[in-house]
Structure 1
């Protein structure tokens, strides 16, 4: 019964909005770069700023969430490496990248809001920013970028979300009060972020409907949607997390492979077909596994 409730109350709203994006992608020729820029430069930074201004996440909780997420990611990478052992280099790197780059934006933010409320969303923003750091450092390193750590650090530093978080921290710590009009404008942008990232996810999936099942695709997808949440439970217990922090970490680690993993694989020519298939399969499979995780979270927390 709890799983059915999770499917109806948490998964169904997300699926409906994403399906609207899929329908739009099939009906019209839409420019994904434009949609991506709207999200990256306009809406998500506003959500990050608004979350910092309103969040009740303490610095200690943030450290626990970031540390826990990074530890789970490292362990997941080792599991993926073991599963990909013996395969050619491009396949091995693509499998590992597909496992460690989770969709904590398009999927993670709205599901955290629906499943855990405003507190869950605030903590999900912390994990989302951490996942961006992983995506733009570990991702290029695995998939063939030769820019090194310096280029990766510059990429993260250029992300608007990074500066929005910094601005929010400065404003909040200083005690400044934003003018009502500016505050309400930022809040409106923040409220648009959740549905827009889901529309973007639907657009991306609708424009890339190919799914080629193979042993590496099945294995990487299984590790991402089954093994990674189990690792998160172990890490949460190891770090003595409980309550909202435990729930947020486990739920974040139940997300499927991020669509941006495919974009990085395409950029660097590192088996993008495999990564695209893992994105599609893990996203579909996660609809069921996330419902199970949401149903089990009250007992775990």
Structure 2
């Protein structure tokens, strides 16, 4: 557990803490940081991961299938658990339960805990989570655009095209020229530090945490139900070793920060979502402290 703290979580917490301090001292535009990360740096990371990934297509498809299975079952169970509450609150709790922070928290944790192969698997899950976030997320939070509108958003994301181009180049056996790849590497190397700073800035700029029933229920569902479903789904889709460890690690991530953005956009219970994001982030740390030492045994 001490090794997990020192080697994996401490570097992540240090960078995020810098973001918290900066947010408390200066006025920082979080939306701008998000645009730089999502549209500028993460596509480079996805491109490089796809070009160099050792993850087989079979394992990649199983990761996608396992994550989508967790999302579907988690959403259904969360909706049942929250019966009796208002519809906006039920929508918000359900969305927070199934939309995890597989970007600015999941990617660096995967890299430090599982190495470059773990990062490759985490990128696959991250892209899948983006599809969930911009399709299922708006539907749950009250958008009238439906799945079609969400898919159009995903189709316009640079990270989607980075994956498509890299996949085509890899299938064709084409190597990227040295100078061009070096530029992509620079952008990719900047992605993880920036997403951690962004997470810290968002936490530092958050207001008071409301420990209401829906908030506590959301954190409990995210911390207990989703990891349990991750174990079950991983076995059902035939994952083992690194693939199973990667899916389980993704399932213990806290509520995605962008869920608050979606809740605010579509008029859902944004106060519940904001508190759930911050509280689940803090609660995920002891869970990760327990899980990370076990990951090498799962990988085998």
Q: Give the TM-score, by structure 1 length.
A: 0.97
Q: Does 1:26 align with 2:16?
A: no
Q: Judge conservation of contact 2:242–2:298 (CA < 8 Å) in 1.
A: no
CA RMSD in angstroms, aligned pairs only: 1.0
Partners of 2:238 and 2:146 lie apart in 1 by 35
The alpha carbon displacement at 1:265 in A equals 0.3
**Alignment match, 2:36:** 38
Work out which of the residue numbers 193, 215, 218 in structure 2 matches 1:217. 215
The alpha carbon displacement at 1:294 in A equals 1.2
Structure 1: unaligned runs, 5 residues or longer: none
Partners of 2:254 and 2:189 lie apart in 1 by 23
Partners of 1:46 and 1:240 lie apart in 2 by 30
**Alignment match, 2:278:** 280
Work out which of the residue numbers 80, 87, 90 in structure 1 matches 2:78. 80
Comparing 103-112 and 291-300, the one that deviates more = 291-300
Q: Judge conservation of contact 2:135–2:151 (CA < 8 Å) in 1.
A: yes
CA deviation string 1:182-206 (max 9, x = no partner)? 1100011001101110001111111
Comparing 122-131 and 215-224, the one that deviates more = 215-224
The alpha carbon displacement at 1:209 in A equals 3.3
The alpha carbon displacement at 1:7 in A equals 1.8
**Alignment match, 2:228:** 230
Paired residues for 1:95-134 under 5 Å: 95-134=93-132
Partners of 1:216 and 1:37 lie apart in 2 by 30
The alpha carbon displacement at 1:108 in A equals 0.6
**Alignment match, 1:261:** 259
DSSP 3-state at the match of 1:75? helix
Paired residues for 1:283-298 under 5 Å: 283-298=281-296
Q: Give the TM-score, by structure 2 length.
A: 0.97
Paired residues, number: 299
DSSP 3-state at the match of 1:102? coil
Work out which of the residue numbers 201, 204, 208 in structure 2 matches 1:203. 201
CA deviation string 1:90-118 (max 9, x = no partner)? 11000000101100001110000000000
